[in-house]
C-alpha cells in the first residue's frame, strides 16, 4: 500500500501508475536496470539469493523519477522529499521491514524524468498439501 501511495503522491494526479506481477530473479532485474542507465538500490543488503526465481510485484510510475543523490536513502526511516508536514518518511521503511521479514527484497530503480519502479521480490515456496480431496 505504501508503494502505491508514494506513487500517487509523486504523480500529482498526472501520469500513470502501473502494477504488474510475475516471476524473476533479483540479479537479472539489477542487470537490466543497469543496462538501461537507471540508478538503483536495494531495500535490504544483498542476501545471496540474487539468482533465485522469485515472485515479483512491481509498482511503476511515470512521474519525475528520484534524484540520484536521494536514491540510496529512500528506505531509511524519516527520510522524505515531501514538504514539511506532508509525510513522515516512514512508508518505505515500513515496506522494507515487512518484505525483509518474509525473506525478500525491494529493488528501486529510477531515471530522472522517467519515473520510478519498486519491484518486490519474495521467495517462491510450494503450497503445502492439505490432504483434502
- Residue 110's pLDDT is 93
pTM: 0.85
Domain range list for the chain: 2-123
Q: What is the pLDDT of residues 76-104, one digit of tens each?
A: 887 666 667 666 677 888 999 999 998 89
Q: What is the pLDDT of residues 14-47, one digit of tens each?
A: 889 999 999 999 999 999 999 999 999 899 886 6
- Residue 54's pLDDT is 92
Q: What is the pLDDT of residues 47-74, one digit of tens each?
A: 666 668 899 999 999 988 888 888 888 8
Closest CA to 43 of 3, 100, 89, 1: 100
pLDDT at 133 over 60: no
Q: For residues 61 and 117, what is the distance between their CA atoms, to the nearest angstrom?
A: 7
Strand order in the sheet with 54-61: 17-24, 54-61, 116-123, 105-110, 39-42
- What's phi and psi for 101, nearest 5 deg? -65, -25
Neighbours of 21 (CB within 10 A): 9
How do beta strands 39-42 and 105-110 pair? antiparallel
131 vs 108, residue with greater confidence: 108
Query: Could you give the maximum distance between any two Cα atoms of the chain, in Å?
Result: 57
pLDDT at 130 over 90: no
The pLDDT mean for the chain works out to 85
Report helix, strand or coil for 131. coil
pLDDT at 13 over 60: yes
Q: Which residues in 81-115 are b (16+ Cβ under 10 Å) and which e? A: eeeeeebeeebbbebbeebbeeebbbbbbbbeebb
CATH number of 2-123: 3.30.565.10
Amino acid at each position: 500500500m505504501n508503494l502505491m501511495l508514494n506513487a500517487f503522491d509523486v504523480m500529482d494526479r498526472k501520469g500513470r501508475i502501473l502494477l504488474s506481477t510475475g516471476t524473476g530473479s533479483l540479479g537479472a532485474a539489477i542487470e537490466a536496470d543497469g543496462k538501461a542507465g537507471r540508478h538503483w538500490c536495494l531495500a535490504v543488503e544483498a542476501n545471496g539469493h540474487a539468482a533465485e526465481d522469485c515472485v515479483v510485484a512491481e509498482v511503476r510510475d511515470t512521474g519525475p523519477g528520484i534524484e540520484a543523490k536521494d536514491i540510496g536513502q529512500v528506505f531509511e526511516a524519516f527520510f522524505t522529499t515531501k514538504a514539511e508536514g506532508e509525510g513522515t518518511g516512514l512508508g518505505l521503511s515500513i515496506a522494507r521491514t515487512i518484505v525483509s521479514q518474509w525473506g525478500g527484497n525491494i529493488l528501486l530503480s529510477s531515471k530522472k524524468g522517467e519515473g520510478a519502479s519498486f519491484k518486490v521480490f519474495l521467495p517462491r515456496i510450494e503450497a503445502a498439501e492439505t490432504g483434502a480431496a
